[in-house]
Amino acid sequence: MRSITLIAIFFCFWVTRANAEEPKSIPTSTATPTPTATPIVFSPQTLSELKQLQKAALNSDYAYKQVAHLANNIGPRLSGSAQAAKAVEYVANELKAIGCEVQLEKAMVPHWVRGEETAVLVQFPGQAENTTQKIVLTALGASVATPQEGLVSEVVAVKNFDELKSLSHDRVAGKIVLFNHPFDKQMAAESRAGDAYGESVVYRSDGPSAAARQGAVACLIRSVGGADYRLPHTGQTNYANDAPKIPAGAVTAEDADLIADLVRQGPVKMKLVLTPQQLPDAEFGLMGFGHRRNR
């Protein structure tokens, strides 16, 4: 819903510019026809109404409340899940409540479920006897599974692709690779959050295949985003055709720093269990809506 509101704001701004700006003069010659003025697309009344909508959208918390309900009340909305279906139903009802004509159509969508997601450090420098360190993580979208009993391997921590490439194949083969690439909070504070996100999210999309090319048996990434509080954050990964598919997950920012610090001190081994499944496609309601009804 927030995206719809932002698009509406941008559209209002665009049409205002389109109708308010005079065409710039362009040098002409006998071979080039003189450009004609941009035609008026919207009437003054329509422009006035669009500006009113823009102002109301900027002053309202409606979109934020809708996003909060989707995230907090309905919860994770993986494709094909019960929560995703509930979200469609909720948004459709909200649109009907404000006077939109809404129609739901059945479609088949991919259905992927996470399953068990656990990780513990079973060997690390300074370890007290018979203890482990719990790691908080979640599988990357479309990740393949570990063996049912999990896998145990040494962890190699790197900051970026260049650091990974600088390691020999023998150094990485059979290991779990952790990309500990931090989200640039300073860049985000300078109103460039999109750029900061783009610089970090590439490790989620391309990291698993990059690690697999050098023989890694699993890949973990530092959760992408500026919020910490030991919350894992994930999204889709993209398996390349020229690399084996290996289990992949996102660990919290705090745990990524913990692992990287321990790796600097000596060997670190992790037991990783990820058991996601790709199930048969699920029936799902796709939503379309037309004009707003007159009240």
Residue 283 has pLDDT above 90, yes or no: no
Pairwise CA distance, residues 183 & 253, whole Å = 9
Whether residues 173 and 254 fall in one domain: yes
- Tell me which residue has tokens 């002409």: 28
- Tell me which residue has tokens 């159509």: 105
Helix (H, G, I), strand (E, B) or coil at 33: coil
Predicted local distance difference test score (pLDDT) of residue 42: 87
Whether residues 92 and 235 fall in one domain: no
Q: What is the mean pLDDT of the chain?
A: 87
Whether residues 92 and 120 fall in one domain: no
More confident residue, 29 or 228: 228
Predicted local distance difference test score (pLDDT) of residue 255: 98
Confidence tier at 4 by pLDDT (50, 70, 90): very low
Asked whether residue 68 is assigned to any structural domain, the reply reads yes
What mean pLDDT comes out for the span 228-254?
Answer: 94
- Three-class secondary structure assignment of 210-256: HHHHCCCCEEEEECCCCCCCCCCCCCECCCCCCCCCCCEEEECHHHH
Whether residues 104 and 121 fall in one domain: no
Residue 145 has pLDDT above 90, yes or no: yes
Pairwise CA distance, residues 136 & 168, whole Å = 29
Whether residues 252 and 194 fall in one domain: yes
Predicted local distance difference test score (pLDDT) of residue 30: 56
Asked whether residue 27 is assigned to any structural domain, the reply reads no
Task: Answer whether 272's CB lies under 8 Å from 150's CB.
Answer: yes
Residues β-bridged to residue 99: none
Predicted local distance difference test score (pLDDT) of residue 7: 43
Query: Is the pTM higher than 0.85?
Result: no
Residue 192 has pLDDT above 90, yes or no: yes
Task: Answer whether 36's CB lies under 8 Å from 70's CB.
Answer: no
Domain around 65: 2-21+41-110+283-292
Question: Encoding tokens for residue 186?
Answer: 């300073």
Residue 9 has pLDDT above 50, yes or no: no
> CATH number for the domain including 193?
3.50.30.30
Pairwise CA distance, residues 19 & 288, whole Å = 30
Parallel/antiparallel/unpaired status of strands 133-135 and 218-222: unpaired
If you count them, how many residues does the chain have?
Answer: 295
Lowest mean pLDDT across 110-124, 199-213, 223-237:
223-237
Predicted local distance difference test score (pLDDT) of residue 289: 54
The DSSP secondary-structure symbol of 180 reads -
Nearest to 167 by CA among 175, 72, 143: 175
Amino acid at 112: W
Q: Residue 219 — φ and ψ, nearest 5°?
A: -140, 135
What percent of the chain clears pLDDT 90, i.e. is strictly above it?
Answer: 69
Whether residues 196 and 268 fall in one domain: yes
What is the total count of domains within the chain?
A: 2
Predicted local distance difference test score (pLDDT) of residue 295: 42
Pairwise CA distance, residues 272 & 249, whole Å = 10
Asked whether residue 83 is assigned to any structural domain, the reply reads yes
Whether residues 226 and 287 fall in one domain: no
DSSP for 86-154, please give it: HHHHHHHHHHHHTTEEEEEEEEEEEEEE---EEEEEEE-TTPPTT--EEE-EEEPBTPPPPPTT-EEEE
Predicted local distance difference test score (pLDDT) of residue 10: 41
